[in-house]
Structure 1
Amino acid sequence: MSIPANALSDEECLHYAALDPAATAELTRRLTSQSIDPSAEREELREDIRRLESQASDDEDELENLRDDATEACEWIKRAMDPEDRELSLNALLQKALDRLE
C-alpha cells in the first residue's frame, strides 16, 4: 500500500521520499514546479539547529548546576556524619544539605 503522496506536507514529503517511490515522485514534482523552496527548507533547518544547540547549552549549564548542588549537599551530609565537626548542629547541617538538593 502506497502513501497518498499528493496529500503529504512538504516536510512529510521530504521525509518519506527515501522510503516510498510515490513520495519521491511527488517531491521531484514539487521541486521542479518550485512549490518547495530548498533554500527556505535549509534556513528552517539551520534555525532548528541553532535552537537545539542553544537548548543543549542551557541543559548542559543546568546539569552542571545540579552536579554542583549535589556535591555541596554531599559535603554537608559528610560534615553532619562527622562527630568531631560540630560547628553547626546536626539539624543545621542536614538543612543546608536539603536546601542544596531542593
Structure 2
Amino acid sequence: MASEAILMAMVKEGGNRQECHEKLRSLAIQSASIMKHEGLPCDLIDRIKKDDYFKPILSKLDSCVNPTTFIGMSSSQVETFIKSEVDEVLDKYKDNLVKSVKLEI
C-alpha cells in the first residue's frame, strides 16, 4: 500500500510511473534479500530515502508510509466487536481470569 502512495507522490512531482515502479521493485527485492538471507529487518524505506531518484518526495515520504493512513475503520471496528462480542464472554468467566498460577521449572 505504501509503495502505491510513494508511486503516486512521484508521479505528481513529474516522475515516470513505469520507471518509479521499477525503482521501487528493485529496492524491494534488495530489501527482501537481506531479510531472507541475513535475517536483518526490512530497510526498504531507508533504501528509498537514500536513493536520489526519490529526492523530489523526500519531505513527503514519512506521510506516504504512515501506517495510520492504511488502517481505515479497523480501530473502531475492533472496539465495536469487543463491546458487542468479547466483553460479554469475558464477564461470564471473569472469576477465572483473576486467578494466579505458580509455575516452577
Length-normalised TM-score, structure 2? 0.31
Length-normalised TM-score, structure 1? 0.32
State the structure with more CA Rg: 1
Higher relative contact order (CA 8 A, sep 6+): 2
